Amino acid sequence: MAKRVGFATRLGAIAAAVGSAVGLGNIWRFPFEAGQNGGGAFILVYIGCIIVMGIPVILSEFIIGRSTHSNMKAALRKLSPGKPYYLFSYICILGSFVVIGFYSVVCGWIIEYLYQAALGNLSGHTPQEYSDMFSALVANPWRCVGWTVLFLVINFMVMSRGIAKGIERVASIMMPLLFVILLIFCVKSLLMPGAGEGLRFLFYPDFSELTWRGVLDAFGQAFLSLSIGISCLVTYSSYFKDNSSLTKDAATVAALDTLVAILSGVMIFPAVFSFGVEPTAGPRLIFEVLPGIFQQMTGGYVWALLFFLLVFFASLTSTISLSEIPITFMIEEHKTSRMVAILWTAMFTLVLAVLAALSFNVLDDVKVFGKSIFDAMDYSASNIFMLLGGLFTAVYVGWILDRKVIRDQLSNNGRLKGAMEPYLIFCLRYVAPVSILFIFLYLSGIL
């Protein structure tokens, strides 16, 4: 059997893991959630959520992946032989397809706007015209599907290059560039008139505005932002070298992901307040509000181009990690070549993505449990697959997995101090499951 190829460097492995976590949620959801839920108060709770739930669940995925150097199914078979836990891997694979399906549509929109920014077509419009421009895009099936397909082609071209030459190389280039562009935007925003009001909206710790719903929003944002629950990090960590510190790696991934979210707020809200625009979140922020702000800036053409390049980097590194889940599974479980695995994954992903893209136009009357196809995929990915996956991972590592495996992975077989073990077990057994249960009840509308 050919030797399993892994990441060539620790830096490349971290860049890939951070790229998996950093996505559109950091840019279009976190800043608005923080501003609406007490600013600095929300951010403090969010950081607490990262410490007591995010890092422990990341570590649990790292432990499963690196201890076996296998895909999720094979890993669970190795760690619990004769037990049916491996069946959970099929939920992870299905979840990854669902996420890529609707996420690729949004990524297609980003390419369209990157193209329009390059042509200089995002300047000289009224707010209503920006709204109409986005509506026209999603209503056009050919444009929607075409840009989605182009994004998937780019995604799978990267995957075809393999782990070191594809995923690692792209992440090692795109993630530093993402941070550079983000910092440039932050400096630009901070120099604008009225920047202080935007920073106050984001950072002032107003605990009177932080309700229990806001606390649950912080837990949910922390969970979803880190892309935990559908074995992305299990798959990536299976390619980690045995001499890296999993504790440091998990903390680094969580810290950089949080930094991107906070810097996104610094980038967006001083500009929003400087130009007197109403703070908002979601697709409207990226495709309707921000283009209008860029055109009012000196050098607006460059700022628009840089911004959509930034969100393209964030989206591509996320879909790459999601795609690797079924690809690694097929290679190791069905003994296919990497190219065959990529082709099968691409075809199945394409079907879901096209259905999601058409749900805004041709298939807009098709409903799944009262939701459009796109919204149903978005809802099930965030509220079912990721939460169920996170709950399983926390319970499995916290209650079922042999403690010796945990101890050996945290200490690199005794070469490092394993002081995190008691804290990790406590968080995985009690804090993470209870938190995830409350998030599920909240997002389901029960609380």
90 in Cβ contact with 74 (< 8 Å) = no
Q: Quick check: is 128 in a domain? A: yes
3-state secondary structure of 384: helix
Q: Quick check: is 401 in a domain? A: yes
In this structure, the number of other CB atoms found within 10 A of the CB of residue 367 comes to: 13
Q: Which structure tokens are listed for 103?
A: 């996420």
Q: Quick check: is 259 in a domain? A: yes
Q: Quick check: is 77 in a domain? A: yes
Q: At what angle do helices 338-358 and 88-119 cross, to 10 degrees?
A: 70
Beta bridge partners of 39: 205
305 in Cβ contact with 326 (< 8 Å) = no
Token pair 């810097």 in the structure block, residue: 263
Residues 6+ apart with CB under 8 A from 426: none
State how far the Cα of 445 lies from the Cα of 42, in Å rounded to an integer.
21
Q: Quick check: is 2 in a domain? A: no
- Residues in the chain, pLDDT under 50: 1-2
At residue 4, the pLDDT reads: 66
**Structural domain of residue 287, as residue ranges?**
11-443
Q: Which long-range contacts (CB under 8 A, 24 or more apart) does 341-350 make?
A: 342/156, 342/159, 342/160, 345/156, 345/159, 346/152, 346/156, 348/97, 349/97, 349/100, 349/101, 349/104, 349/152, 349/323, 350/149, 350/152
Q: Quick check: is 3 in a domain? A: no
- E strand spans, 78-228: none
Residue 23's CATH number: 1.10.4160
Fill in the amino acid letter for 113.
Y
pLDDT of 313-339, one tens digit each? Answer: 999 999 999 999 999 999 999 999 999
Total domain count, the chain: 1
3-state secondary structure of 343: helix
Q: At what angle do helices 403-411 and 246-274 cross, to 10 degrees?
A: 70
Half-sphere exposure of 231 (CA within 13 A, CB side): 31
At residue 252, the pLDDT reads: 94
State how far the Cα of 248 lies from the Cα of 13, in Å rounded to an integer.
12
At residue 1, the pLDDT reads: 41
Cα pseudo-dihedral 165, 185, 111, 20, rounded to 10: 40
Q: Quick check: is 1 in a domain? A: no
Q: Quick check: is 4 in a domain? A: no
